[in-house]
C-alpha cells in the first residue's frame, strides 16, 4: 500500500474494534484494520502478531486520536465504578423509580451516541438523587 498509514490502536479481538470503527465512519475518516482477517480466522494468533491494528492516514491521525480518546473516556465511564461521582452534565433524568425510596429522581449516565449504540446491552450506572442509592442495570 502506497498510502502512509499509521497504527493508532490495537485490538486483541475482532469485536473490540466495532465501536471505534463506527466513530471514525461518523467523522468520515478512512481507516484500515490490519490483520483483521488473520485474527478472525485464528483468535489465538492475535497476541503473536500484535493484535489487529487500527490504521488511519497520517494526515488524519490527530483527528482520529481525538475520536479514539473520546470513545475510550466514554467506555471507561461505563465500567463499574468503585465510587460513583455524579456529574450532572453526564447524567440525565430517566423515567424510572428508585428501588429503595420510590423517588422518580433517577439518573442514568449519558454516553456519546455511538458508544451508546454499541453498549445498549450492557449495564449502565443509575443513581437516585433523593436517597443517593447507586446501582447498575440495563438501560430501561
For Zn ion, which is the closer residue by CB, 18 or 100?
100
Which residue in the set 6, 29, 94, 131 belongs to the binding site for Zn ion (CB under 5 A)? 131
Which residue in the set 26, 47, 103, 137 belongs to the binding site for Zn ion (CB under 5 A)? 103
Taking the complex as a whole, the smallest distance from the CB of residue 132 to Zn ion amounts, in Å, to 7
Taking the complex as a whole, the smallest distance from the CB of residue 138 to Zn ion amounts, in Å, to 19
Which range in 18-26, 39-47, 49-57, 122-130 contacts Zn ion by CB under 5 A? 122-130
Selection from 94, 65, 89, 66 nearest residue 77 by Cα: 89
The enclosing H or E element of 46 equals helix 45-48
Taking the complex as a whole, the smallest distance from the CB of residue 125 to Zn ion amounts, in Å, to 14
Which residue in the set 62, 73, 92, 100 belongs to the binding site for Zn ion (CB under 5 A)? 100
Other beta carbons within 10 Å of 81: 13
* Sign of the C-alpha dihedral computed for residues 88, 92, 94 and 98 taken in this order: negative
The SS3 of residue 96 is coil
Q: What does the alpha-carbon distance between residue 14 and residue 36 come to, in Å, rounded to a whole number?
A: 7
Q: What does the alpha-carbon distance between residue 139 and residue 34 come to, in Å, rounded to a whole number?
A: 34
Is 93 near Zn ion (CB under 5 A)? Answer: no
Cell numbers found for residue 51: 493484535
For Zn ion, which is the closer residue by CB, 33 or 131?
131
Is 128 near Zn ion (CB under 5 A)? Answer: yes
Residues at the contact surface with Zn ion, assessed by CB under 5 A = 98, 100-101, 103, 128, 130-131, 133
Amino acid at each position: 500500500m502506497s498510502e502512509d498509514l499509521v497504527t493508532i490502536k490495537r485490538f486483541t479481538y475482532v469485536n473490540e474494534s466495532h465501536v471505534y470503527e463506527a466513530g471514525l465512519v461518523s467523522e468520515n475518516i478512512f481507516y484500515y484494520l490490519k490483520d483483521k482477517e488473520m485474527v478472525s480466522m485464528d483468535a489465538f494468533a492475535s497476541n503473536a502478531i500484535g493484535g489487529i491494528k487500527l490504521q488511519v492516514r497520517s494526515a488524519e491521525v490527530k483527528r482520529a486520536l481525538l475520536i479514539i480518546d473520546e470513545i475510550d473516556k466514554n467506555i471507561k465511564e461505563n465500567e463499574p465504578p468503585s465510587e460513583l461521582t455524579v456529574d450532572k452534565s453526564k447524567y440525565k433524568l430517566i423515567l424510572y423509580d428508585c428501588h429503595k425510596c420510590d423517588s422518580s429522581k433517577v439518573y442514568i449516565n449519558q454516553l456519546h451516541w455511538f458508544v451508546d449504540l454499541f453498549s445498549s446491552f450492557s449495564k449502565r450506572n443509575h443513581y437516585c438523587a433523593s436517597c443517593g442509592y447507586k446501582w447498575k442495570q440495563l438501560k430501561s
